[in-house]
Copies of this chain bind each other. A is one copy, B any other.
Amino acid sequence: MEVSSQSRLGPDAWVDAAYAAFEAGGVSAVRIDRLAKALKITRGSFYWHFKDRRALLQAVLDRWDQSKTEGAITANEDAGGDPSDRLLRLLHTCASDDGKLEIGIRAWASEDEDARQTVERIDERRISYMARLANAAGVPEHVASARARVGYLAWLGSYSGAVPTDVDQRIADMDCLWRMMLET
């Protein structure tokens, strides 16, 4: 537990720099070359800490998962309130996110199968948490699930990311939305 004034860099320094670059300019801003210059080190040394650029992006994804999913859920639970309040607070937290990482991560996931799977798992984790809150607030379980799903997708759509679902699922979504849209 001492001040990190090492002359040699650890992997964390690379992830810090990559995370910041990602937030500022998306996947394409995460360049080993530029990060190395910023860290005042040669790019060759990067490969001591990481297998390749993909491994670095994977580390950024993991950090994002911790802070924006597990961390956010824990924080929301700790803040208390009844289920209805918790859900509203969660949605407001979601709406307040500037989406920079949400967009960037999904843009990357659209071109990397492993990342796509990780993001899909994270989406499922979030949806099931929302569904649990709605259910606890009195909405029947499977209705809560359907609405949590549609609600989450609409939130995602407000940034527009990239997690493919299958055709049948989407057709079912559309039928549901169609009825919602046409009922007076």
Contacts and interface: CB of A to CB of B under 8 A. Distances in A.
A162 B107 contact: yes
Contacts of A84: 182
A68 interface: no
Q: Classify the secondary structure of A's interface with B.
A: helix
Interface string A71-91: 000000000000010011001
Q: How many copies does the complex hold?
A: 2
Given A111-B25, A111-B26, A159 B164 contact: yes
Interface of A: 25-28, 84, 87-88, 91-92, 94-96, 98-99, 103-104, 106-108, 110-111, 119, 130, 134, 137-140, 144, 147-148, 150-165, 167, 169-171, 173-175, 177-178, 180-182, 184
